[in-house]
Amino acid sequence: MGDSLSAEYGLPRETGWVKLLADRVAQRAPQYNVVNASISGDTTSGGRARLAELLQRVRPGIVIIELGANDGLRGLSIDAMRVNLQAMIDSCRRNAARVLLVGVRLPPNYGASYGERFFSVYGELAKRNRVALVPFLLDGFADNLDLFQADRIHPLAQAQAAMLDNVWPHLQPLLLDARHRGQ
């Protein structure tokens, strides 16, 4: 579940990090398949609203939650974002799905205080709920504008492998754990 960072916004189809993830999972953990339920522009409240139906329809073993960027870019309440993400984690748990929470950062023009309070939500929730965390989806290239579309927010196709490489080390243990459990 994600926003435009996971929905291939501005990219040729089948070139985003989630598609690359699906290809890697097919090779390394074929008992899983990847369903990309990301929507460009989605917020944590939108994700929360549609998660229950997805959990019932897809019945995932693992849910990757990459949401919050649009909350921050719109200056929405950090507390509301925290509540929505917590509700999504709780819903996943009630449906026997493990969670991988993916952190995002805001551009610096949103102010250091708001940006740090926003970013800290991901670590706080991961720690409190004992869920896996990708600290920052764009780690290692966020300051390289050559890897971003003209909007300076959405990574280009050539950055998608780096995004996958930021996610994979945190997802792989969840996949291996399921294999040992016989799921």
The predicted-structure confidence for 63-84, as pLDDT tens digits, reads as follows 999 999 999 999 999 999 999 9
Is 183 a domain residue?
A: no
DSSP summary character for residue 148: B
Is 172 a domain residue?
A: no
DSSP summary character for residue 2: B
Which band of pLDDT confidence, cut at 50, 70 and 90, is reported for residue 125?
A: very high
Is 6 a domain residue?
A: no
Work out how many domains the chain is built from and give that number: 1
Instruction: Pick the range with the lowest mean pLDDT from 4-13, 141-150, 169-178.
Output: 169-178
Is 174 a domain residue?
A: no
Kind of pairing, strands 132-134 and 62-65?
unpaired
Query: Does the pLDDT of residue 62 top 90, yes or no?
Result: yes
Q: Which residue is associated with the tokens 């579309």?
A: 149
Residues labelled catalytic: 4, 151, 154
Is 1 a domain residue?
A: no
CATH code of the domain covering residue 48: 3.40.50.1110
Structure tokens at 26: 């097919």
Percent of the chain with pLDDT over 70: 97
Is 47 a domain residue?
A: yes
Is 173 a domain residue?
A: no
Is 176 a domain residue?
A: no
Do the Cβ atoms of 66 and 167 come closer than 8 Å?
no
Please give the residue range of the domain that contains residue 146. Answer: 17-165
- Provide the CB-side half-sphere exposure for 84 (13 A, CA): 21
The CA dihedral of 167, 8, 63, 57, to the nearest 10 degrees, is -160
Average pLDDT, the chain: 95
